[in-house]
């Protein structure tokens, strides 16, 4: 049962492209893969992120620019998959070892939108 995305149009969220499949979309998510990536990174991944990756493990959203207030816009170029196989995966070639201690990966789901803005500073 979805906790975070109940009623959300998941299929309509993702851009379908060869580039996204090649660079971002990882293998279907398993509990073992989540645990091993969390162990490698040294922190627990946010529940909302894991739930979204269970629908499709990484990719490029259709809407990439999002307005925050009157003058601020942030962009999401892609969402890294949970895994190691793709360059754009958490433990892949371009993956990030940033964690909760520096504010890039949020400690709770309530701070998820803030995390991307912080990472872009």
Domain ranges for the chain: 10-120
The pLDDT, as a whole number, for residue 93 is 85
pTM for the full predicted model: 0.74
Per-residue pLDDT of the chain (121 residues; tens, 9 = 90+): 578 888 889 889 999 999 999 999 999 999 999 999 999 998 999 999 999 999 999 999 998 888 888 888 888 889 999 999 999 999 988 876 655 544 444 444 444 444 444 444 4
Give whole-number Cα distances, 32 to 37, 107, 120, in Å.
9, 21, 30
| Burial of 71: CB neighbours in 10 Å, binned 0-12, 13-18, 19+ | exposed
CA atoms of 64 and 86, how far apart (whole Å): 20
The pLDDT, as a whole number, for residue 99 is 54
The pLDDT, as a whole number, for residue 94 is 83
């Amino acid at each position: 049962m979805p906790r975070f995305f109940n009623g959300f149009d998941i299929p309509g969220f993702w851009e379908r492209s060869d580039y996204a499949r090649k660079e971002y979309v990882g293998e279907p998510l398993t509990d073992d893969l989540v645990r091993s990536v969390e162990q490698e990174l040294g922190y627990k991944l946010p529940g909302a992120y894991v739930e979204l990756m269970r629908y499709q493990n990484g990719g490029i959203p259709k809407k990439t620019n999002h307005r925050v207030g009157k003058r601020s816009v942030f962009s999401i170029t892609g969402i890294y998959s949970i895994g190691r196989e793709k360059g754009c995966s958490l433990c892949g070639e371009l993956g990030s070892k940033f964690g909760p201690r520096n504010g890039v990966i949020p400690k709770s789901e309530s701070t998820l939108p803030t995390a991307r803005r912080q990472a872009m500073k």
